[in-house]
């Protein structure tokens, strides 16, 4: 499955960033009503990506919060085995859903986390470029959209995960959570 990327104007006039994730579901990365954290990943930063995700655990299961990992695969061997790459991503997402289940329960969400955890295989780099990440790199990039779909925060080399956690918490508090 190839990355499907589309844009349409939202009510506020900003372009919605629509993608199809590893599960084949359409996601809107900057939709209204939720705070979206978009975390860049590639082979060089995958451990840091996981650490950034763990910094957001306390928000897992909140209906106003979503995170999506964009896996930049341009120029990688994954392009030769796209089906395998997609299957591996879905197995990783299955494991992540199990890991975050306790946080869902703490936040009063009895739902299945697997419906919410999401990653996008960016085989061409088109999505990464659209998000402002023009080159692959060994930097952990994070983009946060507020509940209106506007860019609220951006890091080009996040090292202090507490900054990310606090930025999300502030947005959630502003949103009444």
Percent helix, strand, coil in the chain, to 5, is 35, 25, 40
Residue with tokens 């930049």, as numbered in its chain: 72
Higher per-residue confidence, 167 vs 6: 167
CATH of the domain at 107: 3.40.30.10
Q: Does the pLDDT at position 74 exceed 60?
A: yes
Average pLDDT, the chain: 90
Mean pLDDT of 20-29: 95
User: Cβ distance 7 to 17 under 8 Å?
Assistant: yes
Report the pLDDT value the prediction gives residue 79, as an integer from 0 to 100. Answer: 83
User: CA-to-CA distance for 114 and 121, rounded, in angstroms?
Assistant: 17
Boundaries of domain holding 33: 5-174
List the strands of the sheet with 151-155, edge to edge.
Answer: 118-122, 65-72, 35-41, 142-145, 151-155
Q: Between the CA of residue 142 and those of 2, 70, 113, 158, what are the distances in Å? A: 23, 10, 22, 7
Which ranges of the chain does DSSP label H, i.e. alpha helix?
A: 46-55, 82-106, 126-130, 161-174
Query: Which pLDDT score, from 0 to 100, does residue 12 have?
Result: 43
Confidence of residue 174 (pLDDT cuts 50, 70, 90): confident
Tokens found for residue 102: 């306790």
Instruction: Give the gyration radius of the chain's Cα atoms.
Output: 15
- How many domains does the chain contain in total? 1
């Amino acid at each position: 499955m190839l990355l499907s990327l589309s844009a349409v104007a939202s009510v506020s006039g900003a372009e919605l960033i629509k993608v199809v994730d590893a599960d084949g579901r359409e996601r809107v990365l900057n939709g209204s009503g939720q705070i979206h954290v978009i975390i860049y990943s590639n082979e060089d930063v995958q451990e840091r990506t996981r650490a950034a995700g763990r910094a957001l655990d306390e928000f897992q299961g909140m209906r106003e919060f979503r995170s999506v990992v964009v896996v930049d695969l341009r120029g990688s061997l994954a392009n030769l085995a796209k089906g395998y790459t997609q299957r591996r991503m879905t197995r990783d997402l299955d494991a992540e859903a199990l890991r975050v289940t306790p946080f869902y329960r703490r936040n009063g969400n009895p739902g299945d986390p697997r419906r919410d955890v999401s990653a996008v295989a960016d085989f061409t780099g088109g999505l990464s470029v659209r998000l402002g990440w023009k080159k692959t790199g060994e930097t952990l990039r994070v983009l946060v959209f507020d509940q209106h779909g506007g860019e609220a925060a951006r890091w080009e080399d996040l090292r202090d995960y507490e900054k990310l956690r606090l930025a999300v918490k502030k947005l959630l508090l502003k949103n009444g959570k």
